[in-house]
Structure formats: structure tokens, C-alpha cells
Chains A and B, each alone.
Chain A
Amino acid sequence: MLATVLSATLHGLEGRVIRVEVDVAPGLPGFSIVGLPDAALQESKERVRGAIRNAGFIYPPRRITANLAPADLRKAGASLDLAIALGILLGSEQVRATGRWALLGELSLGGEVRRVPGLLPMLAALARRGARRAIVPADGLAEARLVSDLESLPASTLAAAVDLVRGPRSRRPRAQAPQRVELAAETAGQTAPAEPAAWSGDLPDLSDVRGQVEARRALEIALAGGHGLLLVGPPGAGKTLLARTIPGLLPPLGDRESLSATVVDSVAGEHPITGLVRRPPFRAPHHTISYAGMVGGGPRLSPGEVTMADYGVLFLDELPEFDRDVLEALREPLEDGHVAIARVGRAAIFPARFQLVAAMNPCPCGYAGTDSSRCHCRDSLVERYAERVSGPLRDRIDLWVTMPRVAPAALVSRAEPESSATVAARIASCRERQVQRRGRLNSRLSGRALRGAARLGKMEERRLVALSELEGLSARGTERLLRVARTIADLAEAESVDGACLEEAARYRSPASVAAQRLAG
């Protein structure tokens, strides 16, 4: 007999509705899945067989064919397990369903229903296609309930899912599940892998950062205008500490951004989602990260760090240590705000509207420019090190700051530095000003829009020309300068950019050349 159940798979960040048709027919016992399944889906056969048996049902000794429609779409992942299993139970007439159901979930051999990544977009896709009721893994319920257009019911086991499908009237006692030997450790491992530990718990506050007024100021400007920021300094200058204060400085996400960030989080599947993600993401991948890890891809076409940092901050510590390919790959997302990934038969576009914050040492050993002349790097080596931060990246970094080591005296300075809350308030109101003016942050302004927003007077125009000539700035460099100046003016709540803003902005330019920086040291 033929049974049809609705389910969904992931395609990039979008859910795709899949109709699972299962035919249980007389013939030689066997199980085949057709409709472009990937390797994980082929293995689904074994999981489904085990789950059905261990949940106390009979695995029909017949010829089983599962067809996944539409047939031309490549399907990946284990989200169809539950639907296939139920299809077999319906097809072999062990269960009779009341109404139409959508099912999402991976099965264990023991019959438990496991959380799958991307519940949120998959359910959203089902809702758009008119599904009204869905059975989801119990530990994904909070996430599923974010989709309000359809009713999500939790099932922690295949048996529980069957109960729900049968409906309240026809409920009858199930057959006893076979006895199982269970190791205690098993459950502990799979429940609640906590949030990514590093950035969630104890965030450092800006008042923990002593001294470094210049870098603090640059960070505030960068976050206020969404500008790329590069911190250069010897080890121990406080680059990483400063960067770690970023999550506490960013305003919470708006509704649209929040939904988008939640979808990304859901698809990444790193941790269970308990509600809409309101805190802007802060991603700090290690410099050994692979190309696919950074931009996304892999067999599952999963999002990379650039996408996980969408609407948030991507922090690259030890910037020159990243693989050249990985850094080059940032070009597209930095310019277009998204990455396109193509795999055989599949292509996806992931959003990547992140703000780049990076840190690096001034030279390979890290001590160039410190008083004690500790640096013994050869000049050519220093040059090559700095040149790894190449063209496209340079163009996207609006602010460069060099952090000297803080003298011990400043560490115990009497002045209490500003706290994160104070600075965060300024950043939030500054962002609001920008959005009200042009509907976007200053870092995304260019050309005429930027000129219009800057409202330079005659004096200021001349100042800008003088500054850019003096610094030998390219047209792009001049735009960067103007963008930063606009944000400085916004922080001061000024309508137009004045000379002082331009002069301060000129401080954050990239060093004219490696040689110049080296020679001046």
C-alpha cells in the first residue's frame, strides 16, 4: 500500500518541502530510496529499520520503495528519517493516521527522535506550503514554536510520534518495546551541548581595559558606523581583550535581523535554540580555519563563519596567520554581503553582512616598535608579514589602530575608564541617526550618497583634498576617510562633517606603506 507523508530538507539556509511516498509491496524483501538522496540519506535505511524494530513495531519483510519528491532536487541530511519510518508504518498498515502530518527528525537505532539542524527554515517552508501540523523532535520544540503558522507537536521517540499521528480516539496500548541495555553516559552526551562557551558567559567590560584611549575610541567609531577595524600591536597590548568587549557594545538585533540570525543559528545547529537570537553574533574563528569553514560549503552545504557572523562581528585574531585562500575568500562577502557556494548539482547563496574586526602583531615576533628593541625580525620578513593583509581586505578596513604596550603607570591610573554600558548607549543612538538618515550604516555609504551625507562645506572640501594629497590616498582611501569622518560627526551628533572630524579620521588610515611604517620605527 502507498503512504504519503510531508517532510523537508535544507538547501542552504532555506527549507525545501519534500513529499515522502512509501510503497510497501509484495515481493522480495528489500528497501530502496529513490529521488537523489545523499550518503546520509542512504544510511537512513539502517536507522529506520533499527528504530522501527526497537520501537516495538514490525519491520515489514516486503519490498519497500521510498520516493522523495520532487525527484530532481538533491536531498541531504537526516531530517527525513522520521517521515520515512512513519511512511513504512502507514504503508504496512500498522498505523492509521488522522489527517495530514509533516514530520521532521532524525532517528536513532533505539527509536529516539533527534534534533536536526535547520528546523526553523524547514518548518517555515512547510507552513508556506500549507502544512498545519508538524511533529518535531522534543528538544527542538522551542525552536519550532517560533514558526507560528503551524502547530508543532513534540515527539521524543518514534512511538510517541506514532501516538500523535493516530490521534486521541484511537489510542491503544502499544506493544512492549524490547529490553535494552543502556549505558548511562549516552544520554549525558547528547543532551544540551551548551552555547558556544567562549563569548556567552563572562564578557569583559570596557572598564576592564586600562589605557589604550586611541584604540577604545577607534573601536567605538568602528562599531557605531559598522566599519572594518584592524588592531595592530605587540602581544600583551590588549587587542584580544578589547575585541572581547564587542558583544557587550553592540545594540540588540531588530526583528528582521533577529529572524535571519536565528535561521542561521538553526541551520548551523551548534546548539538548541530557545528563542529568537537577539544578541548580534560575534564569531572568532581560529586562524587554522579551512576555506570551507570560513565561507561555508562541505557535503551538507552548511554555512561558514562569514554567514554565522551575519549582522554581527567577525573577529580574526592574528590576521596574517590565516591561510591566504581563506583571507582572499573574504573579498566577496565583504563587498557584496553574501557568499555564493556551488556544489555539484546544488548552489546556495548565504548572507554574510558581517563587520570585520581583526588583530595582528606588527611583525612575526610581535615586538617591532616596542621600546626595548626586542624585535629581531629581518626587514624583509616584516614586509612580507604585513603584505599578507592584501588589497581587498585593506580596502574594507576603514580604521587601523596601532596599540602600544600600556605603561604600568596607566594600568593603575586613577581615572575610571568608561563602562561598556555608557559606550553601548552612544553606539546605539549613533546607529539610529545613521539609519534614519540613509537607511543604512555609514560603512555602506559610497559615492554620491556618502558625499550627500557628509555635507562638506568649502573649507572642509579643501581640508579633505589636503589630507588625501598629503597621505597619498587613492580615491578609495579618500572615501574611507570620509566615511569614518561621517561616523565621528554622528557620534558628536553633528549635522555635517567638519575639519576636526576629518583630521581625527586621518589618524585611523592604513599606514602609507610597509616601508614607511618600518622606517619611521
Chain B
Amino acid sequence: MGRDGLMAREVGPDGGASVPVSGQALRTESRTLLEERDAWTVLASIHGLGPVTFGSLLRRFGSGRGILSVARRRGGRAALTARAGPKGEQEVTRISADLAARIVEHAARGDDVLEAVSREGLIVVTLEDAAFPARLLAIEMPPHVLFVKGDPAVLSSPSAVAVVGTRRPSDYGRRVAARIAGSLARQGTTVVSGLAVGIDGAAHAACVAEHRPTLAVLGGGHRHLFPLAHRRLADAIVDSGGAVVSELPPDASPTRGTFPRRNRLISGLADATVVVEAAAQSGALITASWALEQGRPCFLVPGAIDSPTVAGSLAFLRAYPEAARIVAGVPELLEDLGLAPAHADAGEPVRATPAERASKAPTASRESVLSHLGGSERAVAEALVAGRSTADELVATTELPIASVLGVLTLLEMRGLAVAAYGRYRPAGLLASS
């Protein structure tokens, strides 16, 4: 998978002006390409302009630049909302006045969008780029633009499997997710997930611990990462050669609607989807449905029938007995995926990550993380790993005063090693992986 400046132009603070300065001597051809890419970036940032409308606008006006120049013209709004296309096209999606107004507005201040993209150090990959993942081209309604942080080559890695699940997993789920993701990563398979807390986080963390690339698909823009600990995890993913990707512009905040939409990308970017623990109505089941719809295999990890955390998975297995498959064990899963364990040794060598190159830190396993922590931090971190979750338990185990336990928890949280929710603390990031 090649990667060059033309296919995926890196827009960074040093990567040249986001908008070509007029009068600058640029080759016309590349300049046209750049401008068209910028036009798409601007258009993709417009709230409410989804793949369908985008496509229909492109058909009507020929190109992204065409759309923007129409929008910039006097009476642009009317031109955008006009029913008939230039050649009397029969099927044109109607554009609401609101959306047209937003397009006109964005056309006027397109530089802001490009500025935000470059500030975040994002790479823009469009549907027309060679770097655009072929897997996504095969799905319905592929996004026109992807905002990528990290290595865009990860989007098209030869083998990719999604590992998703509930945000409130049991210890069993967490363990299984880490084992599956770890094994897949060692096979050289890219693990795709949603960077949410719970199963998603455990899967990503397991890959990071193996120094293997993993792909995180966000439900919002790059500037809206949560929880806190996962901002660190996202950095670690990029550092270990993976990528964090979103179809939404950096400033878009995630809403209830964006997650299901995002889920089609998770399954779409992977050859197969594995669901580890999904309660009834879990979002992971939406990903599973997308996988089936996209004609990709879908596997579900079973569990005890009286456990609410797998109720959704079991119901799904029952509802789609032909299509949905069961995970009978990690080696069995690899076999079913066509990744025979024998291939393990043939897998590509572990890439040296930027983080490794930058620091002389030994392999970032849980033990090495622990050994680098100071006295009281280490005591608290060890208690967290041992499953102590409330402040009461942490104080009782470490015998530290509550004031220091709380201060240390903040420090661990700052380093992405702990998360807090509902008065309980859990190990996160590298502390959570085994």
C-alpha cells in the first residue's frame, strides 16, 4: 500500500498553506487537485450534508469546486435549492433552504474549516483518492471524506477485524476482548473499534500493548474525544502506528444520531465483526447488523444466559441463526476468520513505532508501567489492577490517607491509566491490558 503526497496530502502546520496562495507558482494540475480536495473538505464539514446529498450535488454541479462557486455566487442559495439539475436530471434530492444557507455560509468561510483540520494535524482522504479504503467503497453510502489522524495506510491494511461491545462490560468481557484483540494483532490483523469505554477501549489497549496498529473510528469530530483517559489512548494508538478516523469534521460534537452512523464505518472498515458482550439494545448490535447488511461475517461471543451483559448478543444469535456466528474460543475464531494460527509466525514483523523511536522506554506492558510509577501511585495502581474500585477499598488496601489516594487518582487519570465513573475507579489504557 503506497502512500504519497498526492494521494493523501498531509495538511499540517508545516505542510504548506491549506489554501493555495494565488500568485504562487504551482503546477496547475496538482493545484486543481488540491483545490478540489479542499472543496470536499469544506463540504464534508457542513452539518446535514450527508453522503446522499453530497453525491447528488456532485452530480449536479460536476465537482466540489463547482458546488462552492455556485454557492459563492449571487443568488447561490436559490441555485442550490432549485429543483431541476442543469440537464433536467430526473432524480435530484431536494435541498432544504436551511442546508443551502449553511452551504453558502461555509463556502464563504471555507478557510476556517481547513485551518481547523490543519491545526489538528489531520490527513484528509477523499472518496476519489487511491488511499481511500476499498472496503468502504463496497458499502452503501460511503463517506465522501475521512479525517484521519495517524497513518492512513492502516485504513486499507490487508486484514482487518472489528472488535466491539458494551461500554459497561463485565470482567469476563474485558478479558475476552483483550485476548481476542491481542491475538488478532499478533496475527498482523488490524483491529477496528470505536474508542468507547469498555470493550472498545480494552480491544484498542491490547493492540497498543502489542505495538500493533489498530484503527479507532470516532462518533464525533477529533476535537471531541472522551473520556479523558481515551485522549491518551488515542495518542497511544497513533504512536503505535495505528490511526484514529472520523467522517465528521474536527469540531462536530457526537450526538445520539452520529453513533449508529459511525457504526456502519466500523463494520465497513473490517472484513468481519466480533461482538464481545452486548446488552439488549446495545450499540454494538447495530454494528453487527451493519456487518450482515454489508455482507461481512459477524461473530458474537456467548456468555451465561442469565447475564444481562450478553443478553443482546444471545438474542442476536437467535434472531440470525444462519448469518451470525458464535465464538467458540480464540483459536477457533482465528480459524473461522481464515487466519490460521500457523500464519502467526509468517506475520509481518512488528513495526518500530514512533513512540519507541522517540523514547528509550522498554516495552510498555502493564508491569513496566507499574514499575515506572512512584511509591503511592504504584500502590494505588496495583490496587486498581487487583480490582479495588471504590475510594473506600483503595484506602483500605493501600493504607494511604484519603487525600493522597484522591490526588494519586488524578495523576493516574492524567496519564490515561485510570478512569472514573459513578464513584468507581478502573484501570485504563496500558494498566487495563493484560
B340 within 8 A of A: no
B76 within 8 A of A: no
B265 within 8 A of A: no
Give the chain B neighbours of A211 by CB distance below 8 A. Answer: 390, 392
Q: How far is the CB of A273 from chain B (nearest CB, A)?
A: 40
* A-contact 0/1 string along B376-413, CB 8 Å cutoff: 00000000000001111101100000111011111100
Q: How far is the CB of A382 from chain B (nearest CB, A)?
A: 11
Q: How far is the CB of A423 from chain B (nearest CB, A)?
A: 13
Give the chain A neighbours of B392 by CB distance below 8 A. Answer: 211-214, 406-407, 410
A335 within 8 A of B: no
- Could you say which of B389, B391, B411 contacts A213, with CB atoms under 8 Å apart? B391
Q: How far is the CB of B167 from chain A (nearest CB, A)?
A: 6
- Distance between Cα atoms of A215 and B395 in the complex (Å): 13
Residue of A nearest to B232 (CB): A470
A404 within 8 A of B: yes
- Distance between Cα atoms of A34 and B39 in the complex (Å): 80
| Interface window among A58-66, A111-119, A340-348, A512-520 | A512-520
Establish whether residues A507 and B421, one from each chain, have CB atoms under 8 Å apart when the complex forms: no
Establish whether residues A404 and B168, one from each chain, have CB atoms under 8 Å apart when the complex forms: no
Give the chain A neighbours of B197 by CB distance below 8 A. Answer: 519-521
Establish whether residues B423 and A233, one from each chain, have CB atoms under 8 Å apart when the complex forms: yes
Give the chain B neighbours of A404 by CB distance below 8 A. Answer: 389-390, 422-424
Give the chain A neighbours of B421 by CB distance below 8 A. Answer: 369, 517, 520-521
Residue of B167, B197, B411, B423 with highest tally of chain A CB at under 10 A:
B423
Establish whether residues A407 and B390, one from each chain, have CB atoms under 8 Å apart when the complex forms: yes
* B-contact 0/1 string along A393-423, CB 8 Å cutoff: 0000000011110110010010000000000
Contacts of B238-286 to chain A: CB distance below 8 A: 254, 256, 279
Give the chain B neighbours of A362 by CB distance below 8 A. Answer: 422
Which residues of B are interface residues toward A (Cβ below 8 A)? 167-168, 196-197, 226-228, 254, 256, 279, 308-309, 389-393, 395-396, 402-404, 406-411, 414, 419-424
Closest 8 CB pairs of A and B: A369-B422, A402-B423, A520-B421, A214-B391, A503-B407, A404-B423, A503-B410, A516-B226
- Could you say which of B279, B309, B408, B414 contacts A467, with CB atoms under 8 Å apart? B414
Give the chain A neighbours of B308 by CB distance below 8 A. Answer: 373
Establish whether residues B396 and A413, one from each chain, have CB atoms under 8 Å apart when the complex forms: yes
- Distance between Cα atoms of A413 and B389 in the complex (Å): 17
- Distance between Cα atoms of A512 and B420 in the complex (Å): 11
Residue of A nearest to B166 (CB): A373
* B-contact 0/1 string along A497-521, CB 8 Å cutoff: 0001101101100001101110111
- Distance between Cα atoms of A410 and B394 in the complex (Å): 12
Establish whether residues B422 and A507, one from each chain, have CB atoms under 8 Å apart when the complex forms: no
- Distance between Cα atoms of A521 and B197 in the complex (Å): 8
Q: How far is the CB of B263 from chain A (nearest CB, A)?
A: 15
Give the chain A neighbours of B408 by CB distance below 8 A. Answer: 503
Give the chain B neighbours of A232 by CB distance below 8 A. Answer: 422-423
Could you pull out 29 A-B pairs where Cβ atoms are within 8 angstroms?
A214-B406, A217-B402, A369-B422, A369-B423, A369-B424, A373-B309, A379-B256, A401-B423, A402-B420, A402-B422, A402-B423, A406-B390, A406-B392, A407-B392, A407-B393, A410-B393, A470-B414, A471-B228, A488-B403, A492-B403, A501-B407, A503-B408, A504-B403, A507-B406, A516-B227, A519-B197, A519-B226, A521-B167, A521-B421
- Distance between Cα atoms of A232 and B254 in the complex (Å): 25
Give the chain B neighbours of A401 by CB distance below 8 A. Answer: 423
- Distance between Cα atoms of A8 and B107 in the complex (Å): 72
A380 within 8 A of B: yes
Give the chain A neighbours of B254 by CB distance below 8 A. Answer: 515
